[in-house]
Structure 1
Amino acid sequence: MQIGFNLPNSGPLSGVDTMTEIAAAGEAMGFDYLTLTDHVVLPNLKVPGYPYSESGEFYEADPIERHEQLIAMAYIAAKTSRIRLVAAVMVVPHRPAVLAAKMLATLDILSGGRLVVGIGAGWLKTEFDAVVHTPFAERGAVTDEYIDAFRVLWTEAQPRFAGKYTSFAGIVLEPKPVQRPYPPIWVGGESGPSVRRAARIGDLWYPIGSNNQHLLDTLPRLEAGIGRLRKATAAAGRDPASVQVGYRVKRYGSAIPPLASDGGRRLFSGSEADILADLRALRGLGVSAIDIDFGRPKAAEMIAEMHRFKAAVIDRI
């Protein structure tokens, strides 16, 4: 099981020196990967709408102060040497397909093949209206088509593609990514379309447990979600075991109420022993990657918590 952590690219911990310090500390501790999130602009945050918290508010303070995801990943790639870099997740419609494919290929090359392309269709209409030229209501279809275009651009010497939202021919995209046939694709999202997308083209399904519309916050709920993934993968004509499963932990321990709406115990709530048991249970379900948000107000506090959690929990898995 790979264990990762979220590297803040927004808020008070997103200063250049602070990001570098946290990334280097996580790599030195032996974490397998780090993640960076993707927003270009944000709306008035006094209007709740964030889907992954009970209040509808962002977890971090001052999230409007934010670095562009892929440029930040390239910077962190230059400041590290081993740790894998996960886009968590890249909102695929934010960037034109050919440009995004080129940026990702370049990032894989510059990082020495450490890129993981986490993808999602996005959820924030206000941001779409400002950034994206394709319709918000069609973002799922746009995402599917762009990913298909990425794979053509990354693997074919003379790429050609004719779609509704992007088309190209008579071009060359070189050099190709270091990883073959292309960097791993981790498909974010918890809805039916997201599960089907993971089943069709994903190397790993990459949900967050706390989506209020599609909760995966208890062991039975997650197990049922994995069951839906396996059925969808078979329906897509792939081996049901060919798509791995990841899990993103936004809060843990005493920061979350222990009782879920289905009456069960929330995953990653409670004591260190409870959290350790959850990690072992998820490994038993076949979950192969878990990342944790260790968000703290200051870098020293976050790094100290990463050290503490690793010694108390991760090293005992």
Structure 2
Amino acid sequence: MQFGFNAPTAGPLAETGQLTRLVVEGEALGYDYATFSDHVVIPTDIHAIYPYSSSGEFPAGARAERHEQLIEVAYVAAKTQRLRLVLSVMVVPHRPAVLTAKMLSTIDVLSGGRLVVGIGAGWMKEEFEAIGAPDFAARGKVTDEYLKAFVELWTKEQPKFAGDHVRFDNIVLAPKPVQKPYPPIWVGGESGPALRRTATLGDAWYPIGTNPAFPLDSLARFKAGVAKLRALTEKAGRKADAVGLALRCTAYGESIPATAGDGERRLFSGKNADIAADIRALEEMGVSHLDVGFAGSTVDAMLAEMQRFKKDVLALV
């Protein structure tokens, strides 16, 4: 299993020197990848429900100054050598399809093939409206079309596409991505549409366990989600196990509730040995990537927690 950490796109730790130190030293600690979140602007009046909190409110800390995701990823690529770069996740309808495909291909080429395209359809209607993105109500169809267009542009010498939201012909997109056939597409989200998108278009499923509407907070619940995904993948005409599994852990340890919503033990709760046992169980299920939300208001604190996690938890796996 490979392990990742969050590279902040917002707040004090996203300052140039802090960010650089975090990714360089995180790489030196042996972590395999860094993750990067995506918002272009933050509206001042948000009525949309944030999917990953019980209150539905967008976290106050996330309203801080924020870098553009893809530009930050390109910057970090230049500062690191081995670290993989995971979009966590890129809101697909936020950027025009052809331009985005070109930007992603460029990042993959310049990084030496280290990009992972984590994607989502988006949840904040007000942000869609502010940046002139396609109609929020059509975001699922737009996302699917754009993903198909990306693949066409990345893999065909004479790409062409005729959809409702993107059309092109008689163009050349080069250079193509270093990774073949293209950078892995990890599909975020836990809902039925997200699972269907994963089954038909994804290389991996990349959920967060804390969505109250679709909780994956126990091993039993996660297993049920994977079983549903496998059935949908087979229904889509692919082998049941064609889609890989990646997972984001937002919190862990004795500070989080010990019991999940289904009455089972909550994933990543308890002592170091309990967390290590969860990781082993997930790996046996086929989870190949796990990124962890390490706490810390300073780079020193965050790096210390990353080091402690490797020494006290991963050493037991």
CA distance in 2, matches of 1:62, 1:174: 36
Contact 2:43 2:130 in 1 (8 A): no
Partner of 1:200: 200
SS in 2 for 1:145: helix
Runs of 4+ aligned residues of structure 1 deviating over 3 Å after TM superposition are 44-49, 55-60
Moved more, 261-270 or 301-310: 261-270
Alignment-derived partner of residue 173 in structure 2 = 173
Q: Are 2:275 and 1:238 aligned?
A: no
Query: In structure 2, do the counterparts of structure 1 residues 174 and 220 end up closer, same or farther at CA, with 3 Å as the change threshold?
Result: same
3-state DSSP of counterpart to 1:240:
coil
Question: What CA deviation, in whole Å up to 9, does each residue of 1:59-99 have, x standing for no partner?
Answer: 57353311110000000000000010000110000000000
Paired residue for 2:272?
272
Tell me the TM-score normalised to structure 2 length. 0.96
Deviation at 1:48, TM superposition (A): 8.3
3-state secondary structure, aligned to 1:176: coil
Q: Quote the Cα distance in structure 1 between the aligned partners of 2:142 and 2:253.
A: 38
Deviation for aligned residue 1:278: 0.8
Alignment check: 8 A CA contact 1:95 1:132 kept: no
Deviation string for 1:29-68 (max 9, x for gaps)?
1111110000111133787832212233455735331111
Deviation at 1:155, TM superposition (A): 0.7
Q: CA RMSD of the aligned region, Å? A: 1.5
| Cα distance in 2 between the residues matched to 1:241 and 1:287 | 11
In structure 1, C-alpha distance between the alignment counterparts of 2:35 and 2:306, rounded to whole Å = 14
Would you say the 8 A contact 1:101–1:153 is kept in 2?
A: yes
Q: How far is 1:301 from its partner?
A: 0.3
Residues 41 and 254 of structure 1, relative CA distance in 2, 3 Å threshold: farther
Name the counterpart of 2:259.
259
1:289 to 1:59, Cα distance in 2 relative to 1, 3 A: farther
| Count of aligned residue pairs for this structure pair | 317
How high is the sequence identity, in percent, across the aligned residues?
57
- When residues 223 and 128 of structure 1 are mapped into structure 2, their CA distance, relative to the original with a 3 A threshold, is same
Cα pair 1:12 1:61 within 8 Å, conserved: no
Q: Distance in 2 between matches of 1:183 and 1:132?
A: 27
Instruction: Report which stretch shifted further, 94-103 or 279-288.
Output: 279-288
What's the CA shift string for 1:260-280, capped at 9, x where partnerless? 221112111121111111111
Measure how far apart 1:251 and its partner are. Answer: 1.3
Q: Classify 1:45/1:272 alpha carbon distance in 2 versus 1 (closer, same or farther; 3 Å).
A: farther
Q: Which range moves more in the overlay, 116-125 or 265-274?
A: 265-274
Alpha carbons 1:185, 1:204 under 8 Å: kept: yes
Residue 247 of structure 1 is matched in structure 2 by 247
* 8 Å CA contact retained: 1:152, 1:160: yes
Q: Distance in 1 between the 2:146 and 2:301 partners? A: 40
**Match of residue 112 from structure 1:** 112
3-state SS of 2:63 partner: coil
* 1:223 equivalent in alignment to 2:240: no
Structure 2 gap ranges (5+): none
Contact 1:11-1:60 within 8 A present in 2 as well: no
TM-score, structure 1 as length reference: 0.96
Measure, in 2, the Cα distance between the counterparts of 1:17 and 1:45.
32
Residue by residue over 1:269-301, the C-alpha shift from the partner in whole angstroms, topping out at 9 and shown as x without a partner, is: 121111111111111111111100113111110
Counterpart of 1:203, as a letter, is: D
Q: What are the Cα deviations for residues 204-257 of structure 1, in whole angstroms up to 9, with x where unaligned?
A: 100000011111111110000000010000001001111011110111113422
Separation of aligned partners in 2, 1:37 and 1:135: 22
Gaps of 5+ in 1: none
Secondary structure, aligned partner of 1:25: helix
In the TM superposition, residue 115 of structure 1 has moved relative to its aligned partner by 0.4
State the partner residue of 1:156: 156
Q: Which moved more, 1:182-191 or 1:267-276?
A: 267-276
SS in 1 for 2:248: strand
Kept after mapping to 2: 8 A contact 1:35/1:86:
yes
